């Protein structure tokens, strides 16, 4: 059965993932991290709904995770 996570759960996941990806080594990893930082700033400027903000950040971080898995 599918569940709908609470905003606090999404926020905690995003913060955990940000901590993980911010320290990844390698030019490609750091390039992707910097792109995420710029995108996150746009989300923060453009999205008024807190849940939408955290869901958008989570989706972008999942792209980083996918890219890392494909590269490794």
Total-model pTM = 0.91
Query: What distance in Å separates the CA atoms of residue 52 and residue 61, rounded to the nearest whole number?
Result: 14
Domain positions in the chain: 28-71
Q: How many other C-beta atoms can be found within 10 angstroms of the C-beta atom of residue 13?
A: 15
Distant-in-sequence, close-in-space partners of 53: CB < 8 Å, separation ≥ 6:
43, 44, 47
pLDDT tens digits, one per residue of 17-63: 999 999 988 888 899 999 999 999 999 999 999 999 999 999 999 99
Q: Which residues contact 56 (CB under 8 A, 6 or more apart)?
A: 43, 47
């Amino acid at each position: 059965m599918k569940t709908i996570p609470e905003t606090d759960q999404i926020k905690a996941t995003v913060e955990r993932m940000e901590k993980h990806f911010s320290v990844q080594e390698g030019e490609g990893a750091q390039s992707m991290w910097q792109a995420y930082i710029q995108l996150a700033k746009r989300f923060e400027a453009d999205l008024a709904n807190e849940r939408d903000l955290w869901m958008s950040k989570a989706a972008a971080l999942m792209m980083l995770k996918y890219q890392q898995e494909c590269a490794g």
